[in-house]
Amino acid sequence: MKVYAINGSPRKNKNTATLLQKALEGVKEAAKDKEIETEIINLYDLNYTGCKSCFACKRLGGVSYGKCAVKDDIQEVLEKVSQADGIVFGSPIYLGTITGQLQSFIERLIFPYLVYDENYSTLSPKKMPTAFIYTMNAPEEVMNKLGYLKTFDHIESTIEHIFTKPLAMYSNNTYQFDDYSKYKSNAFSEEAKAAHRKIQFPLDCQKAFELGASLIK
């Protein structure tokens, strides 16, 4: 068995990456009686674009029917992930939605599986379980007020159509800088942010661990 965490953050050891790692630890704990491998894929290490609308994945009889034909850094990643036993997507929220890097990855992963027939059926080789971890500077009340959940629901619905409905968790009001005094950030209180992180982030880590365990169960 193989479960992948897809890190849509440019940072490899901060909020999103930490929670993805906790989720994979939960996967391993839940599957301790089985042989299971886990891997984090850092998208910002890879050179690729979103869908190029070449439609090779839709061409009947074509060698790339049902597969992305673009040859770049994620070609092998897409093949690996297609055979996964679980996927955990993770992203910080930029301007109310997931990072462009993750959006481009999802386009390339999902669009080739979508069939243009009457039912918009799918060619996905496996209906693997999925999960989504969102991290954001916005407190929960701001997330709700600004309608972020509608955006997330649309993303998750697309993934559900191809694979399965993602389990989801949110890490709000995150601590963004190592030293707030070095940045123009007087919209926030560093002391309040630090106090929130001290209490809440360990709880979020536990939630991510439990999400990973639930993914396998």
State pLDDT tens for residues 59-90: 999 999 999 999 999 999 999 999 999 999 99
Residues of the chain with pLDDT under 70: none
Contact (Cβ atoms closer than 8 angstroms) between residue 136 and residue 92: yes
**Could you give the CA distance from residue 58 to residue 209 in angstroms, rounded to a whole number?**
38
**Residue span of the structural domain in which 112 resides:** 2-216
Q: What is the pLDDT of residue 180?
A: 86
- The CATH number of whichever domain residue 100 belongs to comes to 3.40.50.360
Q: What is the 3-state secondary structure (H, E, C) of 83-139?
A: CCCEEEEEEEEECCEECHHHHHHHHHHHHHHECCCCCCCECCCCCCCEEEEEECCCC
Query: Cβ(7)–Cβ(16) under 8 Å?
Result: yes
Give me the sign of the Cα torsion angle 130, 38, 205, 96.
negative
Roughly how many angstroms between the first and final C-alpha of the chain, as a whole number?
13
Instruction: Please count the structural domains in the chain.
Output: 1
Specify the pLDDT at position 5: 98
What's the pLDDT at 190? 85
pTM greater than 0.85 (yes/no): yes
Q: How far apart are CA 123 and CA 23, in angstroms?
A: 28
Residue 21 and residue 75: Cα distance in Å, rounded? Answer: 24
